[in-house]
Chain A
Amino acid sequence: MNWLLDLTPDEWNAVRLSIKVATVAMLFSLPPGILIALLLARGQFWGKTLLNGLVHLPLILPPVVTGYLLLLTFGKRGPAGAFLAEHFGIVFSFRWTGAALACGVMGFPLMVRAIRLSIEAVDRRMEAAAGTLGANPLWVFATITLPLILPGLIAGAILSFAKAMGEFGATITFVSNIPNETQTLPSAIYTFTQVPGGDEGALRLTLISIVISMGALVASEVLARRVGRRMDME
């Protein structure tokens, strides 16, 4: 057991960085994820198929391609990257924020899918009932729709987090593999496998990776069950 927890500072940094990147990616994906899921589930507009395809693109493209497209758009010389750096001081290239962006984009389709399914399962007659009681559409969403889709939100968030924990291709293409800045768990494992005698470190990080992912999954199950029970029983 000791050899498992006896991490070098660089390894610890990779673990901490991965959790930070995945958490930030998940949290920042949630609001746009809910919005896009709502649009896809309920909207009737021109270009809906296009939007749906766009959202799913990271799922079907090779991660390297997604990473390269991010580099082109959000890199130092990319249009979005230059704009954000100049006006808001937000820099993505070769920073951990860039890793979070890459992870968020890669996990986005999974999150939107989960939330969209739960929105489609909402009994809209409940929302109509809330409307007759005086709640305007925004209140209906906040007090009826949102609580009813909570299990789907949790599932989507955990999927996004888990995807971010494992993201490799897009991240390494976009922000490279810089220790203490962009070297997440998968990048660190990859680095270990590239050097002689790195097997033990790779194995340690692999086991940690498994523990974190399993932990997230179990946590989501427990949360979802608690939410479900609150609605059906008591």
Chain B
Amino acid sequence: MTVLVDISHRLGDFSLDVRFESAGRLTALFGPSGSGKTTLINMIAGLIRPDKGRIEADGRVLVDTGAGIFVPKHRRRIGMVFQDARLFPHMSVAGNLRYGRWFTPAAERYADMDAVVELLGIGPLMDRRPAKLSGGERQRVAIGRALLASPRLLLMDEPLASLDEARKAEILPYIERLRDETKIPIVYVSHSVAEVARLARDVVMLAQGNVIASGPTEAVMQRLDLLPAEERGEGGAVLDTRVLRHDENFGMTVLGSAAGEIRVPRLAAAAGAPVRIRIRARDVMIATEQPAGLSALNILPGTIVAISPGEGPAVEVGIDCNGATVLARITEQSRHALKLRLGGHVFAVIKTVSFDRANTGAGLPAEADG
């Protein structure tokens, strides 16, 4: 399943010129508000007609302005989860869930009601009206409704943006399950580094209507300079790791990565399970010698492979730790004092407590602390 978008569109002063192709399980369209990502996803869904260009999904041409092709939204079979859920107020949760299913030709219905209800944990809500649901419940029902239309592609437009942190933490595991347990490719719009790093396999980064970077999440997220100003503090390395073991005495989990063992607060995942972590650049210190008498538990040896100017007095240092790159944000003064240069051998120091739930993929709430 691939998605191909190659469009140009003008909206007053704003112009959108985007070309990207994605074949991933979950591709994030990432950028600050006003970068055009919502317009783009609305074009894929068929809610906005681009001035010029071509959109394909799964080899099927949805838009080709040159050939005069524009498949209307109800024939695209593309599911959409809106930021504001948009549940139908005059139907119960069950009615909302059945809505899309009803319009899907029987032969193309692959989504199973019971499985989706179970996947999203919405069984107890079936008879309720949307007005009586919490924001998180509403969003889960909206995801279920889109899934039950058996879409070929699922679009999610900032599904967590209008929720508070607790509700976000409630829904994120469900989206991870969706990504891992179903076969539907997902395009996920977000302006949050935390969400993108945790969920996405691929990232298309947008700014002012243009693609400024695209590729695998670990690679794109290295480009701290491209992050929107308000999200820069959240930026850092993204590492794919596996659970090695749990340390019950101290309530910790030991993860194995290319860079070495990393200790994080106890996760709900079982041994062997893949866990993606994000190490914020601002949480990483650099030592030129193996530190002793230090409280920080994670000390990863490596080689400096990049030094780039950061914001204000900061510089961003990329450290290659046996193939995995860790980013550190330090002051120019420290760099000077430590005489850091490319190729130098250093140690990246990371406190265990700097890993919170937002930057480690934790299991479902029900399994947490289990």
B99 touches A130 (CB 8 A): yes
Q: Which A residues between 126 and 163 are near B, CB-CB below 8 angstroms?
A: 126, 128-137, 139-140, 143-144, 147-148
The answer on a CB contact under 8 Å between B129 and A132 is no
In the complex, how many angstroms separate the beta carbon of B227 from the nearest chain A beta carbon? 30
A201 and B88 CA atoms in complex are apart in Å by 52
A132 CA / B86 CA spacing, docked (Å): 12
Tell me which of B72, B103, B129, B132 contacts A133 (CB under 8 A). B103
The total of chain B residues at the interface (CB under 8 A) is 29
Chain A's closest residue to B45 (CB) is: A132
Question: Are A231 and B74 touching (Cβ within 8 A)?
Answer: no
Residues of B within 8 A of A86 (CB): none
Q: What's the Cα separation between A232 and B133 when bound, in Å?
A: 11
Binary per-residue interface labels of chain B (87-131) against chain A in the complex, 1 for a CB within 8 Å, 0 otherwise:
011100000000110011000000000000000000000001101
Q: Which A residues touch B100, using CB under 8 A?
A: 133-134
When C-beta atoms are compared, the residue in chain A nearest to B95 turns out to be: A143
Contacting pair B80 A233 (CB below 8 A): no
B129 touches A135 (CB 8 A): no
Question: Which A102-145 residues have a C-beta within 8 angstroms of B?
Answer: 125-126, 128-137, 139-140, 143-144
How many A residues face the partner with a CB closer than 8 A?
Answer: 23
Q: CA separation between A195 and B56, bound complex, in Å?
A: 81
When the two chains form their complex, are residues A234 and B129 in contact, meaning their CB atoms are under 8 A apart?
A: yes
Interface residue? A87 (CB, 8 A):
no
Q: Which residues of A contact B149 (CB under 8 A)?
A: 133-134
Nearest B residue to A134 by beta-carbon distance?
B103
Q: State how many angstroms separate the Cβ of B36 from the closest Cβ of chain A.
A: 19
Distance in angstroms between the alpha carbons of A98 and B146 in the assembled complex: 51
| Complexed CA–CA distance, A70 and B177 (Å) | 67
Q: Give B265-315 interface residues, CB cut-off 8 Å to A.
A: none
Whether A128 touches B73, Cβ cut-off 8 Å, given contacts A134-B149, A232-B89, is yes
Nearest Cβ in chain B — how far from A172, in angstroms?
Answer: 43
Instruction: Report the bound CA distance from A131 to B78 in whole Å.
Output: 10
B47-A128 in contact (CB<8A): yes
Contacts across chains A and B counted by CB atoms under 8 Å: 72
* Chain A CB within 10 A, most for which of B76, B103, B132: B103
For the complex formed, measure the closest distance between the CB of B89 and the CB atoms of chain A, giving whole angstroms.
Answer: 5
Q: What residues of chain B lie closer than 8 Å to A129, measured between beta carbons?
A: 80, 82, 86, 88
- Complex: A231 Cα to B90 Cα, angstroms: 5
A133 and B99 contact, Cβ closer than 8 Å, known pairs A125-B82, A128-B73: yes
| Partner of B79 from A130, A132, A232 at Cβ < 8 Å | A132
| Complex Cα spacing A135 to B128, Å | 23
Residues in B with CB closer than 8 Å to A140 are 74
What separation, in Å, do the CA atoms of A132 and B103 have in the docked complex? 10
Verify B74–A136 contact, CB threshold 8 A.
yes
Question: Which chain A positions have C-beta within 8 A of B78?
Answer: 132
The reply to whether the CB of B84 lies closer than 8 angstroms to some CB of chain A is: yes
Q: Is the CB of A134 within 8 A of B82?
A: no
User: B123 to chain A: closest CB distance in Å?
Assistant: 18
Are B47 and A234 within 8 A (Cβ)?
Answer: no
Instruction: Decide yes or no whether B54 CB sits under 8 A from chain A.
Output: no
- Docked pose: A129 CA to B77 CA in angstroms: 12
A234 touches B86 (CB 8 A): no
Q: Residue of B at shortest CB range from A128?
A: B47
A231 with B104: CB separation less than 8 A:
no
CB–CB A131/B131 < 8 A = no
Instruction: Give CA–CA (A221, B97) in the complex, Å.
Output: 31
A135 neighbours in B (Cβ, 8 Å): 74, 99, 103
Are A233 and B73 in contact (CB-based, < 8 A)?
no
User: Is B361 positioned at the interface, with any CB of A under 8 Å from its CB?
Assistant: no
Task: Given A133-B146, A139-B103, decide whether A126 and B132 contact each other with a Cβ distance below 8 A.
Answer: no
Contacts of A230 in B (CB 8 A): 90
What's the Cα separation between A233 and B90 when bound, in Å? 10
- With A126-B88, A136-B74, A234-B128 known, 15 other A-B pairs at CB within 8 A are A129-B80, A129-B82, A129-B86, A131-B73, A132-B73, A132-B78, A132-B80, A133-B145, A133-B146, A134-B74, A134-B75, A134-B77, A140-B74, A143-B99, A148-B90
Shortest 5 CB-CB distances between A and B: which pairs?
Answer: A134-B103, A133-B100, A129-B86, A132-B80, A131-B73
